[in-house]
Structure 1
Amino acid sequence: MIRPSRRQALKLVGLVAGSAVLPAAAQTSTFPSRPIRIVVPHAPGGNSDTFGRIVAQKITDQTGQQAIVENRPGAGGTVGSALVSKSAPDGYTVVVADNGTHAIAPTLYGAKLPYDVFKDFTPIMLAAKFPTVIMLHPSVPAATPKEFVALAKSQPGKFTYSSAGTGNGSHLTMELFRSAAGGLDMVHVPYKGGAPAVQALLAGEVQLTAVSVNTSLPQIQSGKVRALGVASSKRSPALPDVATFTENGIDFEGDSWLAIIGPPGLPPDIAARLNQIFTAALRDPDTEARLAKIGLEVVASSPDDFTKVLQHDVPKWGAAVKASGAVAE
């Protein structure tokens, strides 16, 4: 038997060690080599669905591999999110998460939530943000947030506000407003969805509601309602003349966001490649312009920056859930 020299043995060890990393490196360099599934955990037609389809088309164009949107609605988006949390960690399945599924749900659903937002996912990025607008029926004699607060305090229990459902982001944004304004005594009227909640305001059945900026635009521009203020960290480019509540001395923010998240255990190189792919798609001028039309501001953050947002928003929205008394059915 011929034994290899020490030099030959070391060379062989180096070759074996090098080959161990080749599959991962090769996988990253060829990723994606098949279609990417983008799970939207809500029904077609909403912000996350429109966002998903715009971005999916751009990824398809840029990578040559199809990006396919798959709607998996149910339980406020937690059904589709749970599906992705149990998917294979290969980078071919991601979810369009939002503050409802990952910041509100932990407190709203409690022990019933089928995933841990920090442990059961791999963050890819905070993709986009969009402000919420609180709209006021024109019959209410108040032109500014301060005027409305004074009016509401002088008539406790008189004013009502609609929402897309108990524990929904629209409901909790109003709860943040009530609290920041000194504990306004108003009545919550939940509806089954955003459209009927807006219709209730237009019909004068309620005096206020909170909706995403793109939903508010047609109503505000038509003069059917007034924008009381933007519940955001800064003014919306879509409504540049409408001040934030913070500018009016009512310090709260109800920014909504969309994020891209993968299943747990996603290899770092694949997660980094996904971040690169989604960033390229989001930063394309055509994509940014199309998303701006529906009130979305592209962020395309790092995974770490998204984790920091989640760490801030889970307790913030959790406090709003507790204050509202909302419990998932």
Structure 2
Amino acid sequence: MKWKSQIQNLKAYQPGKTMDDVKELFNLERVVKLASNENPFGCSKNVETFLKTNVLSHAIYPDGYAKELRLKVAGHLSVEPGQLLFGNGSDEVIEIISRALLGVGKSTVMATPTFPQYKHNAIVEGAEIREVPLDPLGRHQLGKMLEAIDDSTAVVWLCSPNNPTGEYIRNGELISFLDAVPPHVLVVLDEAYYEYVVADDYYDSLELLKSYPQLLITRTFSKAYGIAGFRVGFGIGSEEVIGKLEPIREPFNNNTLAQGAASAAIEDQAFIEECRIHNRKGLEQYYRFCEEEGLHYVPSQANFVLIDFGVSGDEVFQYLMSKGYIVRSGEALGFPHSVRVTVGSHEQNEEVIDKMKEFLTLQKRV
């Protein structure tokens, strides 16, 4: 078979062990997953009510235009319905963008480390990948990213807050960057963790969209909205940009249950605000722990924190997993001495912090 040369050594996404896997492996009755930045408080009761009270015909295709969801999201964001592109998670939106704009002879610019699907999709499309390392504080080096752009560049990816650091791009920095980006380049601003941001100097991307038509924003229902299992993400852009991307979208990519769940979720902004408050308090728990133990961490605007333990992240990961707490090793994220920990409930945070202290005590004895 004549496979694309660029996919010969491409690895499939490797999901972590499930909670059931860990229970069986270590003979545990209870496991807490703090690895995938899911919402520890679940989802809005609106979603639960929708699922209990709506009888859906499973033999009928879903609404290919996602009209109800489209209108609700457009109303919530004060944008036109035609400015929205829905995906099976924001992963699919990234895939659609890549398929539309990237290919042999094209280049794309991104930070490193960052969300790996930008690079993954660029490889599949055969584009040249230009990666610009984060600065020592974990921030995008926008000046160097500008220097990496040339006539072949089709897409620049900005993840803010960035995964896996939790750092974000400041308002003034972003405006200066957008002013300097050539008009032929699409700037994708990935805001998967937008709902958790509290920084005063965070930009208003929807307002910027009015002045920069080459900007496209991606968001998701998988994080703060707590419906990752339904896979709903979306892009927000000018009607012209969305109009070019829409034909590439699969006809029925968001199933009926997913559309209904997301429609119910977006109506409960009080739940989102409550999650934001709890998340800030949870981050403070980890900050206090790091400061007490002299560990470096990256202040986060997301619902996770990256902590440097000074030893292999795999070692920390394995120890915590053996105690029933699944986190994400930094070995696979570009930070080999760190782990990324999703902020859980107050109790979950205290529990995993206690296990981290146990690990540090054992390290001191070695």
Q: Higher relative CO (CA 8 A, sep ≥ 6), structure 1 or 2?
A: 1
| TM-score when normalising by structure 2 | 0.26
- The TM-score normalised by the length of structure 1 is 0.28
The structure in which a higher percent of residues are helix is: 1
Greater C-alpha Rg: 1
